């Protein structure tokens, strides 16, 4: 089948069993991985980008040819650059200087205008804190007003969790033939976790939030270490709109080092070249199989490609 555009290639990613990895670690249970790093923009955020733009065009909040603006760690921006380019909307991505340079280069290659916002005082290069994100958000709001643009608002627009409720969650359930017993995801905007959980909870699947050690705001803990290398999430934000009312079985903590080692383990053991958050998801899944979900089947998402981290310490 020949698709009418690359937008139509967003969704229905393969899911693979990490049997070699589970055997190597002597885990009692299964881990299955949804390969969303194979989407056109190399990340799961393609799903939300398509959903938000299509919904906004349908309800009239986004006019034909109107400029779109959004803050991004690079993944949402890449998805929006693709979708907006196909549908005829200029796109402006606003990103922290703490994100990897590959992301900005990819968005520019796809036709986006990329605005880089300097990091907050004391922030580390390669790590994006909640304070950094606040600066990016302020700049995105300013540009949206100045350009009379549409703000894609991945942290607030219902199209984000909706695409995972109608896409990611059902795909996981169908591809596993109902074998999945638990799902965990590293929380950025919370869209994937909230949306997938809304569907999977109805089938008795226990869902867990994954956050960085020392920055477990969703778990209600005091923030002690807001800085970490896991780009795209873990911003120590206790208020994630998408997570309101989401039923969770628990909260898991992952260190930057554990996420790094698990991303490398995925590459060496399973041939999956994914990024930091995929490593965080794997680390959490391993913890679940060694604890409350022993003997079960854990589903995780491979959130983005390892190609987006070549300039970071992930592959040193």
Contact of 305 with 37, CB cutoff 8 Å: yes
Contact of 281 with 21, CB cutoff 8 Å: no
Q: Has residue 38 been placed in a domain?
A: yes
In this structure, the answer to whether residues 255 and 289 fall within a common structural domain is yes
Active site residues: 45, 277
Contact of 38 with 13, CB cutoff 8 Å: yes
- The continuous run of DSSP H or E covering 34 comes out as strand 30-34
Q: Is the pTM of this model over 0.75?
A: yes
CATH code (residue 195): 3.40.50.1100
Contact of 249 with 208, CB cutoff 8 Å: yes
Where is pLDDT greater, at 225 or 99? 99
% of the chain beyond a pLDDT of 70:
99
Domain boundary among 118, 151, 184: 151
In this structure, the answer to whether residues 172 and 293 fall within a common structural domain is yes
In this structure, the answer to whether residues 187 and 228 fall within a common structural domain is yes
Q: How many whole angstroms separate alpha carbon 116 and alpha carbon 9?
A: 29
In this structure, the answer to whether residues 94 and 203 fall within a common structural domain is no
In this structure, the answer to whether residues 29 and 165 fall within a common structural domain is yes
| 250 CB-near residues (< 8 Å, 6+ apart) | 206, 208, 209, 292
In this structure, the answer to whether residues 189 and 142 fall within a common structural domain is no
In this structure, the answer to whether residues 301 and 196 fall within a common structural domain is yes
Q: Three-state SS across 242-304?
A: HHCCCCCCEEEEECHHHHHHHHHHHHHHHCCCECHHHHHHHHHHHHHHCCCCCCCEEEEECCE
In this structure, the answer to whether residues 135 and 166 fall within a common structural domain is no
Contact of 123 with 147, CB cutoff 8 Å: no
**pLDDT for 172-217, tens place per residue?**
999 999 999 999 999 999 999 999 999 999 999 999 999 999 888 8
Domain span at residue 246 reads 6-43+158-315
Binning the chain into helix, strand and coil, the percentages to the nearest 5 are 45, 15, 40
Q: Has residue 1 been placed in a domain?
A: no
pLDDT over 70 (residue 71): yes
Q: Has residue 93 been placed in a domain?
A: yes
Q: Has residue 253 been placed in a domain?
A: yes
Domain boundary among 107, 127, 151: 151
pLDDT over 80 (residue 126): no
In this structure, the answer to whether residues 255 and 140 fall within a common structural domain is no
As beta bridge partners, residue 68 has 91, 150
In this structure, the answer to whether residues 64 and 171 fall within a common structural domain is no
Q: How many whole angstroms separate alpha carbon 98 and alpha carbon 113?
A: 18
Across residues 291-311, what is the average pLDDT?
96
| pLDDT-derived band at 95, boundaries 50, 70, 90 | very high
pLDDT over 80 (residue 238): no
If one counts the domains in the chain, the total is: 2
In this structure, the answer to whether residues 61 and 132 fall within a common structural domain is yes
Q: Has residue 10 been placed in a domain?
A: yes
Contact of 233 with 99, CB cutoff 8 Å: no
**pLDDT number for residue 35:** 98
Q: What is the CA radius of gyration of the chain?
A: 18
**pLDDT for 53-68, tens place per residue?**
999 999 999 999 999 9
Q: Has residue 144 been placed in a domain?
A: yes
Q: How many whole angstroms separate alpha carbon 135 and alpha carbon 131?
A: 7
Across residues 35-52, what is the average pLDDT?
98
**pLDDT number for residue 155:** 93
Domain boundary among 116, 133, 151: 151
Q: How many whole angstroms separate alpha carbon 162 and alpha carbon 164?
A: 5
> Average per-residue pLDDT in the chain?
94
CB count within 10 Å of CB 295 equals: 10
**pLDDT for 129-165, tens place per residue?**
778 889 999 999 999 999 999 999 999 999 999 999 9
- The continuous run of DSSP H or E covering 114 comes out as strand 113-117
In this structure, the answer to whether residues 179 and 247 fall within a common structural domain is yes
């Amino acid at each position: 089948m020949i698709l009418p555009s690359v937008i139509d290639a967003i969704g229905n990613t393969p899911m693979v069993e990490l049997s070699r990895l589970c055997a190597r670690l002597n885990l009692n249970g299964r881990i299955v991985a949804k390969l969303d790093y194979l989407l056109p923009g190399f990340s799961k955020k393609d799903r939300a980008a398509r959903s938000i733009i299509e919904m906004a065009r349908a309800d009239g909040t986004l006019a034909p040819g109107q400029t779109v603006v959004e803050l991004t760690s690079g993944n949402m921006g890449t998805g929006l650059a693709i979708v907006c380019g196909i549908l005829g909307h200029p796109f402006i991505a606003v990103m922290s200087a703490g994100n990897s340079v590959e992301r900005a280069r990819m968005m520019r290659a796809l036709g986006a205008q990329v605005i880089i916002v300097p990091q907050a005082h004391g922030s580390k290069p390669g790590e994006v804190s909640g304070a950094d994100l606040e600066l990016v958000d302020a700049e995105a709001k300013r540009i949206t007003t100045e350009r009379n643009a549409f703000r894609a608002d991945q942290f607030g627009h219902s199209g984000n969790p909706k695409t995972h409720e109608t896409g990611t969650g059902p795909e996981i359930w169908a591809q596993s033939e109902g074998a999945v017993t638990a799902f965990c995801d590293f929380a950025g905007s919370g869209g994937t976790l909230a949306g997938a959980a809304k569907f999977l909870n109805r089938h008795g699947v226990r869902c867990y939030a994954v956050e960085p050690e020392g920055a477990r705001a969703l778990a209600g803990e005091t923030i002690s270490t807001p800085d970490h290398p896991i780009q795209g999430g873990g911003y120590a934000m206790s208020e994630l709109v998408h997570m309101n009312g989401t039923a969770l079985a628990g909260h898991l903590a992952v260190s930057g080092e554990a996420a790094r080692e698990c991303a490398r383990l995925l590459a060496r053991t399973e041939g999956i070249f994914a990024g930091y958050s995929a490593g965080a998801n794997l680390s959490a899944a391993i913890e679940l199989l060694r604890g409350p979900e022993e003997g079960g089947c854990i589903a995780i998402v491979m959130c983005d490609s390892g190609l987006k981290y070549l300039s970071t310490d992930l592959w040193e």
